[in-house]
């Protein structure tokens, strides 16, 4: 493999070298390649370097794109006769190009079936615009990209099969896990940067410009269609893996709505989500009749507006649905699957219909790494608790700890959290003061649930019910408030303003928590009165909301501390 020329720009004035497609492969022995690239256009090497220039190795066959952030060409290697993609990206100056070049070289070490391969890098000078360019040679994918594939379904208004979407998701996640292990983030995930092979396999591409070189180092400029997939926080902070996952969520939403929205309409909708996150719920409601609850839920998780509520890539792959997606592409990245193979202690099997709480608890313990099984087990346990008033006697401290661990381990599955909160809320009713339910191990999970499922009112309702139950214990009530419980309650009310049941339970929880003077101070600082009055005004005809809001206002106003 050749070494690349990286010394400063030569004193000799370079000739024009704009890349143009040509018809034949002959060079004819001329000093100038038939693409218009001259040898002096390539930055010359220092004495210790000996390298061939780009024009000697690659012939430009076709221009694919001249748009921002870089022009793309199809080229042929003169030695192996294979086609590759060439991307030209303008740099600020020569020194920046050299720095970027050496950073780009790190990408040549990447070796993964779902991440694009990088073959060569060159630095060239363009006299026409007096600019320095870094030229990136990668694999070429004649079958196009995900954007073109999605467009086919948009044009015909056909539904993309869920099986195909799961395959794309599994392969993309596999690639992102690999990048995570290498200490890299993508920064530019969008359908046009996910390439398709003839087999249908997808490959993450365009890491070169977006991953290694920041905008400060290169003259890369995003178009609206490209930037619309970027996370909302990018304007205020740098990219990280959670930003990548938001972009992936946009790609997933693009696929599940392909039969509803055309390209331009979808871009507008995705932009609207950043301005009004509630818009996402409306879009997902439209596709919920076409796709599984698990797929819709994952899209919702990935597109969470707040950066801190999104999972990391390693947290995401704990999802049972994601495991299914990755397993379908023979993933090698899953911790749970690896543990299952090594120990054979965790197994998947169906829960037979039973009213035996101990058998259900055993099932949850056996399948704790598989969220669909845990959801099934907790749902069965909820039925038992609801139908058998003495069931709490069968669920001892060890079993209660198991339930909280199962909820922690599957935090992003809303069915697990709804059923788990219901079970714990019922157990709290009969709990003694020293019960594990009032311990930090259990109480701290509530805050995580409410932040992880911020825009899911059913989960918020279940969590608020649990807060209401736990708040009867003074120590538990203090801990809930210290962990941000009042803020979580008010956030739930604001996001689900028209959900009467949720607003009623939240007001009751505020009433209970504010009975303590220290908790009341926090509620006043959070301006809880305003949100309670808003709920009361919105649900004037709801007896439950009116009664709960009135009780909350009594605690918040009549007992308001004088020092606030």
Q: What does the pLDDT look like over 401-456, one tens digit per residue?
A: 999 999 988 887 889 999 999 999 999 988 888 899 998 888 889 998 998 787 78
Residue intervals of the chain classified under CATH 1.10.510.10 are 144-208+222-328
pLDDT for the residue numbered 511 = 95
Model pLDDT, residue 16 = 30
Lookup: tokens for 176: 């992102």
Per-residue confidence (pLDDT) for residue 89, from 0 to 100 = 80
Q: What pLDDT does residue 368 have?
A: 85
Handedness of CA 233, 235, 241, 243 (dihedral sign): positive
Q: What is the pLDDT of residue 477?
A: 92
CB 168 within 8 A of CB 255: yes
Would you list the DSSP string of 131-194? EEEEEEEEE--TT-BHHHHHHHHHHHTPPPPHHHHHHHHHHHHHHHHHHHHTT---S---GGGE
Q: Which of 335, 411, 323, 311 is nearest to 181 (CA)?
A: 335
Q: How many residues can be counted in the chain?
A: 564
- Give the Cα separation of 360 and 384 in Å (integer): 10
CATH of domain 54-139: 3.30.200.20
Whole-number Å distance between alpha carbons of 360 and 355: 8
Do residues 407 and 443 lie in contact, with contact meaning Cβ atoms separated by under 8 Å? Answer: no
Q: Could you report the per-residue pLDDT of 96-142, keeping only the tens digit for each?
A: 556 656 666 677 778 888 999 888 888 777 767 677 787 889 999 99
> Contact at 8 Å (CB) between 506 and 464?
yes
List, in sequence order, every beta strand (DSSP E) within 197-312.
202-204
- How open is the CA angle 61-63-64, to the nearest 5 degrees? 120
Fold of 144-208+222-328: Transferase(Phosphotransferase); domain 1 (1.10.510)
pLDDT, residue 67, reads 65
Among the listed residues 430, 374, 445, the one whose alpha carbon sits nearest the alpha carbon of residue 397 = 430
CA atoms in the 13 A half-sphere facing the CB of 64: 20
Phi first, then psi: give them for residue 119, nearest 5 degrees. Answer: -100, -50
Q: What is the CA radius of gyration of the chain?
A: 29
Asked if 231 and 309 touch (Cβ cutoff 8 Å), the reply is: no
Residue spans in the chain of domains classed CATH 3.30.200.20: 54-139
CA dihedral 38, 43, 44, 45 (to 10 degrees): -140
Give the integer Cα–Cα distance in Å for 437 and 435: 5
What Cα–Cα distance (Å) separates residue 37 from each residue in 33, 43, 130, 306?
6, 12, 15, 48
For 268, other C-beta atoms within 10 Å of its C-beta total: 10
Using an 8 Å Cβ cutoff, are 477 and 470 in contact?
yes
**What is the CATH code for 357-557?**
1.25.10.10
User: What is the predicted pLDDT for the residue at 122?
Assistant: 81
Residues of the chain falling short of pLDDT 70: 1-52, 67-69, 92-105, 127, 129, 208-226, 330-348, 559-564
Q: Is 144 left (phi over 0), alpha (psi -120 to 50) or beta?
A: left
List the one residue out of 498, 491, 540 whose CA is nearest residue 282: 498
Q: Is 102 helix (H, G, I), strand (E, B) or coil?
A: helix
Whole-number pLDDT of residue 33: 40
Q: Are 241 and 313 in contact (CB under 8 A)?
A: yes
262: tokens are: 């055309």
């Amino acid at each position: 493999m050749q070494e690349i020329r990286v010394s400063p720009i030569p004193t000799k004035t370079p000739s024009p070298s704009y890349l143009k497609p040509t018809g034949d492969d002959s060079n004819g022995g001329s000093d100038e390649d038939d693409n218009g690239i001259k040898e002096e256009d390539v930055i010359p090497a220092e004495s210790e370097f000996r390298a061939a220039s780009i024009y000697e190795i690659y012939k430009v066959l076709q221009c694919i794109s001249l748009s921002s952030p870089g022009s793309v060409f199809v080229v042929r290697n003169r030695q192996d006769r294979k086609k590759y993609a060439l991307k030209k990206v303008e740099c600020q100056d020569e020194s920046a190009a050299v720095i970027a070049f050496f950073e780009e070289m790190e990408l040549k070490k990447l070796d993964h079936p779902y991440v694009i391969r990088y073959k060569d890098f060159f630095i060239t000078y363009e006299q026409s615009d007096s600019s320095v360019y870094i030229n990136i040679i990668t694999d070429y994918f004649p079958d196009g990209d995900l954007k073109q594939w999605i467009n086919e379904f948009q044009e015909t208004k056909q539904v993309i099969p869920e099986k195909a979407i799961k395959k794309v998701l599994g392969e993309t996640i596999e690639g992102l896990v690999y990048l995570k292990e290498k200490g890299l983030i993508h920064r530019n995930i969008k359908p046009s940067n996910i390439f398709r092979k003839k087999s249908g396999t997808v490959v993450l591409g365009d890491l070169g410009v977006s991953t290694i070189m920041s905008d400060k180092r290169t003259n890369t400029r995003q178009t609206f269609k490209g930037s619309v997939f970027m996370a909302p926080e990018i304007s205020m902070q740098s990219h990280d893996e959670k930003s990548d996952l938001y972009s992936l969520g946009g790609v997933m939403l693009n696929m599940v709505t392909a039969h509803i929205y055309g390209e331009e309409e979808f871009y507008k909708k995705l932009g609207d989500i950043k301005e009004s996150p509630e818009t996402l719920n409306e879009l997902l409601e439209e596709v919920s009749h076409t796709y599984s609850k698990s797929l819709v839920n994952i899209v919702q998780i990935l597109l969470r507006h707040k950066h801190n509520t999104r999972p990391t890539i390693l947290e995401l792959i704990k999802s049972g649905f994601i495991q299914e997606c990755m397993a379908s592409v023979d993933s090698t990245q899953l911790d749970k699957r690896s543990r299952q193979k090594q120990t054979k202690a965790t197994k998947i099997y169906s829960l037979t219909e039973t009213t035996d709480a101990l058998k259900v608890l055993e099932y949850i313990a056996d399948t704790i790494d598989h969220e669909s099984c845990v959801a099934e087990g907790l749902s069965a346990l909820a039925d038992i608790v609801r139908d058998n008033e003495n069931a709490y006697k069968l669920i001892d401290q060890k079993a209660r700890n198991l339930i909280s661990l199962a909820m922690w381990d599957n935090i992003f599955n809303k069915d697990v959290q709804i059923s788990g909160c219901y079970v714990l809320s019922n157990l709290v009713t009969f709990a003694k003061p020293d019960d594990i339910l009032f311990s930090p191990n259990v109480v701290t999970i509530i805050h995580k649930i409410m932040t992880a499922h911020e825009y899911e009112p059913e989960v918020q309702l279940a969590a608020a019910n649990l807060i209401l139950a736990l708040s009867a214990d003074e120590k538990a009530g203090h801990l809930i408030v210290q962990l941000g419980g009042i803020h979580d309650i008010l956030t739930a009310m604001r996001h689900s303003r028209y959900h009467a049941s949720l607003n009623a339970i939240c007001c009751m929880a505020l009433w209970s928590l504010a009975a303590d003077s220290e908790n009341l101070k926090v509620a006043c600082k959070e301006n809880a009165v305003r949100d309670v009055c808003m709920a009361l005004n919105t649900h004037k005809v709801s007896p439950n909301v009116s009664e709960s809001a009135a009780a909350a206002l009594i605690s918040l106003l009549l007992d308001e501390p004088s020092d606030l």
